[in-house]
Chains A and B, each alone.
Chain A
């Protein structure tokens, strides 16, 4: 490999001491910018949102000669024309206009060395901003291996900015960044260019002068694409991959979730013995521990899902999957990039909503976020299983292949899917109708995913889940607990049927009566806003404390207490209702507003209410 850096006519001025310098990383998508960011900052990074918008703010720090340098990883952009929200953010940060982000001291521009042509126009506009800029030609290892050539010194002279060949995955040439930051380079004069076409011809001239020859397209990518996008093999591989991901989420994630639940219960029981004070014990265990555990048990599944999404994304297959599924997704007004997120929603809406970040079109992304919770997630399964086994007698429908219970379960899956599609159609033909932005999908070269990148992402997603969801869940669980603990009777907490929450349940009974629900179900609906499956535990407690049902199993008690139409209505209600605080918290984070989760909650609850009412009425008439 050639020497890693060349710096031209650098006039050094002494660095200002005692000030944390801020640099920004900018570059087009797939240039390896995030890999570089991860390599520089490792675990010293944090993720948030820019104020008022949905773009993620990623920053971290690293040391240069013992001095801390703050680095901001800007969203991947193709140009500085403020087209998308991402580009507006990039421009604002680069120009020092972004509230809460300090004025930049320098810019690290990351380009994919193997294909400079298209990226040079971006390079020109970034350098033209006048900030000290270091141009990093990333993937130098692949570039050299595949016969690419360039004269970095010549390019540096042409660009008026130092150029270094680096490899973020190998970690080579990165000392150039350190050297660049040690020197406080003066602003380079640069011809400001007008139209983009002018920049383009300028770029090709520049390439010629720098002796640039792009690397040959990767043979591997072409061969693999011939197979992966083959007319027959392509869809088959697609199904196998998707099936494998799904199988792993349930086959690997579910047992892990169960194990975690057992562990959390065990810890709770051990702790219960140690806390003597009854109020404190109830507050800590019933209020906090139970509520938080009921949500925490989804973490393994979420992480397994993200492990696979990460592998698919980093390897380059995700883009191919989007290409294959685009035709189908288009029929509901979405695009191929929505497929994997929506599929993930069958496990849990939380990772699904986080995974929508790959959809650049904001309206499509929002539509996907809004319909994802209709997919049958794993938290609905305990509720479905309980109600189906209590109310639907098992008899064969299609011989031994499909029984009535399996059919009921399958119908609920289909129902959620249909409502999701219907909602998508309504949204995409009204409020979220896309402007004239066409669907453009870049198919990056296949790469081996690195454990570092996947690991950091898992850590990041896990942290987001625990922070965002944890705090909201804590508040909601505490509120629900307080309602079950109060009012005190003779200094003791009341039995559940005398508690405040039971009164709320009784109070709302007239509202839920048309659905065929009584106040006990009402209480279950209230407590299950923490997480859907919580209703099972609540009903268990309610029936166990009721003298008329206390000796029965939950199933039998339900059969006694709830009429068949009401039970079916309850299934429908759970299929549609937004009974999940975690999802609401994540939607709030991803849309950076309370409005969308509020709209989503109201919409889904209305659909659930009306759906359940219709089912209850129809079945009551029939039976």
Chain B
């Protein structure tokens, strides 16, 4: 913890389970943004990939202490800045 690598901007869908990041931008129509915001998805919020569904999609994320699953087709439009690629899943 505490050791951060240089921030890398990537797409939420590309993160691997266990990786954490901060949401940077949601490149979706305003009403979709508004809809996602109610589940905690908004810029500046920390998000962590929990696990993928058995068939690879959707993926469950931990955000604001809740477990929320999104399809890759949605997560593809959410840009994130990696917090730390060293951070492992901790209890």
Which A residues lie at the B interface, using CB under 8 A? Answer: 78-79, 81, 83, 114-115, 117-118, 196-197, 200, 214, 217, 219, 221, 225-226, 229-232, 234-235, 323-324, 326-328, 330, 336, 435-445
- In whole angstroms, how far apart are the Cα atoms of A248 and B71 in the complex? 33
Any A CB within 8 A of the CB of B14: no
4 tightest Cβ-Cβ pairs between the two chains A and B:
A78-B38, A115-B65, A234-B54, A443-B67
Within 28-45 of B, Cβ neighbours of A (below 8 Å) are at 28-29, 31-32, 34-40, 42-43
A304 to chain B, nearest CB (A): 28
Which residues of B are found within 8 Å of A117, using beta-carbon distances?
40, 64-65
Q: In the docked arrangement, what's the CA distance between A606 and B60, Å?
A: 42
A200 to B, closest residue via Cβ: B42
Contact of A81 among B34, B40, B63, B91 (CB under 8 A): B34
Which residues of B42-91 are within 8 A (CB) of A? 42-43, 50-51, 53-58, 60, 62-71, 73-74, 91
Total contacts A-B at CB 8 Å? 109
Q: Kindly list chain A residues whose C-beta atoms are within 8 Å of the C-beta of B63.
A: 118
Given contacts A229-B60, A443-B60, contact A324 B69 (CB under 8 A): no
Across-interface contacts of B58 in A (CB, < 8 A): 323, 326-327, 336, 439, 441
**Judging by beta carbons under 8 Å apart, are B38 and A324 in contact?**
no
Q: Tell me the bound Cα distance from A219 to B69 in angstroms.
A: 19
Q: How far is the CA of A75 from the CA of B1 in the complex (A)?
A: 41
State the B residues within 8 Å of A (CB): 28-29, 31-32, 34-40, 42-43, 50-51, 53-58, 60, 62-71, 73-74, 91
Beyond A78-B39, A118-B64, whether A230 also contacts B74 by CB under 8 A is no
| Cβ contact within 8 Å between B54 and A440 | no
* Cβ–Cβ contact A441 & B69, under 8 A: yes
Tell me whether A229 and B53 are in contact (CB under 8 A).
Answer: yes
Contacting pair B70 A118 (CB below 8 A): no
With the chains together, A81 CA to B32 CA distance in Å?
13
Q: Closest chain A residue to B59 by CB distance?
A: A323
Q: How far does the Cβ of A88 sit from chain B's closest Cβ, in whole Å?
A: 14
* Contact present for B65 and A214 (CB under 8 Å): yes
Shortest CB–CB separation between residue B25 and chain A, in angstroms?
13
CB neighbours (8 Å) of B91 from chain A are 219
Complex contact B53–A81 (CB within 8 A): no
11 further A-B contacts with Cβ under 8 Å, apart from A118-B40, A219-B91, A327-B53, are A79-B37, A83-B31, A115-B66, A197-B43, A200-B42, A323-B69, A326-B58, A435-B31, A438-B73, A440-B69, A440-B70
Contacts of B39 in A (CB 8 A): 78, 118, 440, 442
Q: What are the residues of chain A within 8 A of B66 when measuring CB–CB?
A: 115, 118, 442
Contact partner of A114 (CB less than 8 A), chosen from B34, B54, B65, B71, is B65
Smallest CB-CB separation from B63: which chain A residue?
A118
Which of chain B's residues has its CB closest to A30's CB? B66
